Structure 1
Amino acid sequence: MPKLKPATQAARREHILDAAELCFARNGFHRTTMQDICREAAISPGALYVYFSSKEDLIAGLVERDRAEFAQRFAAVADGSDFLGALSELGNHYFNEQPVHRRTLCLEIALESTRNERVGEIYRAVDREVSQSFETLFAKLADEGRIAPDLDIPTVAKVFSLIGDGLFTRRVVEPELDMEPIIAGALNLVGKLLNVVPPDQVQASSKNAPSDVAAPSSQPAKAKRT
């Protein structure tokens, strides 16, 4: 039998992950069998096991796919000048545009991480990476004088994550919820948490700084990440 081209292999792998995603979201991790996923993907068990040897492997593949997508979307937040606007777009994607079954699956994986050691390791590793991404971003903004939170940066990042987790969970359990005003309210709260410095004040601070010395951050020393 001829070997499949890498592009064909990648497409089949994605197709299997799509099927697993639907099955896990619909029936839960424990009630879903490998046979269920084969039926959803319309493939034989042999074809499935070429790519994934267990349901845990499938979860790992799904989590990695989501992590890669998040990293790409987060880059727009980290590189943009209007980070609150970029955060709004990020929130709109995950709370509104993302398919319902994907949000349900995220909650299912989070719950399974409390019962399954391997799933827990996978979930917590990605969760740490996401949290670290925001912590690094907030530290950068503080160093640039664009935010001046009263709390230290690690605590700010943790509170921010908890706000996001709460919104996400509420969206899953109440799928008909109108998220637009809630996202706007959450961003207002995040703005106060970060204590965003108006752009004109940031620019004025930069102009007044000595040319051979970087403009001092308005962030208290205790808020800088170590």
Structure 2
Amino acid sequence: MPKLKPATQRARREHILDAAEFCFARAGFHRTTMQDICKEASISPGALYVYFNSKEDLIAGLAERDRSEFAERFAEVSAAPDFMEALSKLGDHYFREEPAHRRIMCLEIGVESTRNPRVGEIYRAVDRFVEESFEKLFARLAAEGRIHPDLDIPTLTKVFSMIGDGLFMRRALDPNFDTDKLVPAAMSVIGRLLNAGAPAPQQTIEKKDRQ
């Protein structure tokens, strides 16, 4: 049998991950079998096991794909001259544009992470990566005088993550979630939390002293 080209191998791997996403979202991690994923992907078990040996391996693949995608989008936010505008676009992607089954799948993996040690390690590694990315960004923006939060940066990042997690969960679970109203409202709250573009307290005091 001729060896597949790397591009073909990557495409097949992505196709299997897409199938796993649908299956995990539809039936849950425990009820989904490897055979279900084979059926969804229209491949044989032998073809599946070339790329993934278990459902945990599939979750690791999904997590790495999500991490890589986030890193790419985050790089645009980090480099943007208007941070809040770029952050709003990022929010639109994850809370408005991303398909519903991906949100449900992420929740399913999150719940499984509380029971399965290996899934827990994978899930928390991605969570740490996202949180650390924002913490470093917030620290840089504060040093540049582009944000002036009242909270210290680690606490600010935790609160920011809690808002994002809450939005993500509500968007996945609430069929009446009003994206057009609630996502901009959440961004407004985040803007106030960051105090983006406002003068630093010391700058305000100095200005008053000169008057």
TM-score bracket, normalised by the shorter chain, equals over 0.9
Q: Give 1:60's aligned residue.
A: 60
- Cα deviation, 1:118-149, whole Å, max 9, x if unaligned, reads 00000000100000000011000000011111
Q: Give 1:94's aligned residue.
A: 94
What amino acid does structure 2 have at the position aligned with 1:165? D
What amino acid does structure 2 have at the position aligned with 1:47? A
Residue 177 (1) aligns with residue 177 (2): yes
Q: Give 2:19's aligned residue.
A: 19
Q: Give 1:33's aligned residue.
A: 33
TM-score for the superposition, normalised by structure 2: 0.93
Q: Give 2:188's aligned residue.
A: 188
Instruction: Give 5+ residue unaligned stretches, structure 2.
Output: 204-211
What amino acid does structure 1 have at the position aligned with 2:82? D
- Cα deviation, 1:72-106, whole Å, max 9, x if unaligned, reads 11111100011111111111111110011001101
What amino acid does structure 1 have at the position aligned with 2:174? E
Q: Give 2:146's aligned residue.
A: 146
Q: Distance in 2 between matches of 1:180 and 1:71?
A: 26
Q: Give 2:82's aligned residue.
A: 82
> How much identity, in percent, do the aligned residues show?
70
Residue 50 (1) aligns with residue 87 (2): no
Q: Give 1:115's aligned residue.
A: 115
TM-score for the superposition, normalised by structure 1: 0.87
Instruction: Give 5+ residue unaligned stretches, structure 1.
Output: 206-226
**In the TM superposition, what is the alpha-carbon distance from 1:178 to its structure 2 partner?**
1.8
How many residues align? The count is 201
Q: Distance in 1 between matches of 2:76 and 2:26?
A: 32
Q: Distance in 1 between matches of 2:94 and 2:4?
A: 34
- The two structures, once aligned, show a CA RMSD in angstroms of 1.2
What amino acid does structure 2 have at the position aligned with 1:147? I
Q: Which runs of 4+ in 1 moved over 4 A?
A: none
Q: Distance in 2 between matches of 1:173 and 1:115?
A: 21
Structure 2 residue matching 1:94: 3-state secondary structure: helix
**In the TM superposition, what is the alpha-carbon distance from 1:152 to its structure 2 partner?**
0.5
Q: Identify which range, 184-193 or 21-30, moves more after superposition.
A: 184-193
Structure 1 residue matching 2:62: 3-state secondary structure: helix
